[in-house]
A and B are shown apart, each in its own frame.
Chain A
Amino acid sequence: AQSVAQPEDQVNVAEGNPLTVKCTYSVSGNPYLFWYVQYPNRGLQFLLKYITGDNLVKGSYGFEAEFNKSQTSFHLKKPSALVSDSALYFCAVRESSSASKIIFGSGTRLSIRP
């Protein structure tokens, strides 16, 4: 069965420093991977996805994610964090039995201190 794991419940970073939010996955077949963000009191927003091709995927708000097949990871990164990046981040993977369904990780709360 497909699954994703976000090993950190919380990540704390100083503004201006690079940030990484970790995600590992387990799938049968080719992975289709996603990152979503949830700002306070708002619904989830799509950030980026990996389907195929370049291992470095660029998304919204300056975020990027690196797909690593050998380590089965899809970590979210940003070179310079902003206080406004503070939010809850979810990694997700497509369910192989249904192209429309995706499975979400438990979420990582990112806190950027000024």
Chain B
Amino acid sequence: DVKVTQSSRYLVKRTGEKVFLECVQDMDHENMFWYRQDPGLGLRLIYFSYDVKMKEKGDIPEGYSVSREKKERFSLILESASTNQTSMYLCASSKGQLAYEQYFGPGTRLTVT
């Protein structure tokens, strides 16, 4: 089975802190994604990566950056956390360039105070 793990289930940070969210997948998938999930808004794509060191902006990239130095690992960085970044963050991976399903991690609930 595909396994996508995220470094923390719950995280509390202060406004202005730099925050790192880590995601690791073990199925050699080419594509990795970061979403945020907010009630009534569904999932919104922040960034995705289709290869090592490659990244593309999603729908809401402002205030975020990403890093993919190894195929299995995709990091989301909040350069200076703000209260409006309090949310559930979900990482996902998928293979190839076709419409393959995405596999999700358990999520990180981030609270910025």
- Which residues of A does B touch, CB under 8 Å? 9, 32, 34, 36, 42-46, 49, 51, 90, 94, 98-107
Contact = CB atoms under 8 A, between A and B. Distances in A.
A51 B100 CA distance: 10
B106 A46 contact: no
B45 to A, nearest CB: 7
Interface residues of B, number: 29
Interface string B83-113: 0000000101010111101111111000000
10 contacts: A42-B106, A43-B4, A44-B43, A45-B104, A46-B102, A102-B102, A104-B42, A104-B43, A106-B40, A106-B41
Nearest to A49: B101
Interface of B: 4, 30-31, 33, 35, 40-45, 48, 50, 56, 58, 90, 92, 94, 96-99, 101-107
Contacts of A36: 104
A5 to B, nearest CB: 11
A34 B101 contact: yes
Contact of A100 (B35, B44, B97): B97
A36 to B, nearest CB: 8
Nearest to A98: B56
Contact of A107 (B42, B96, B101): B42
A9 B42 contact: no
Interface centre among A43, A51, A98, A102, by most chain B C-beta atoms within 10 angstroms, is: A43
Contacts of A90: 42-43
B90 A43 contact: yes
Nearest to B29: A100
A49 B96 CA distance: 16
Contact of B40 (A9, A45, A94, A101): A9
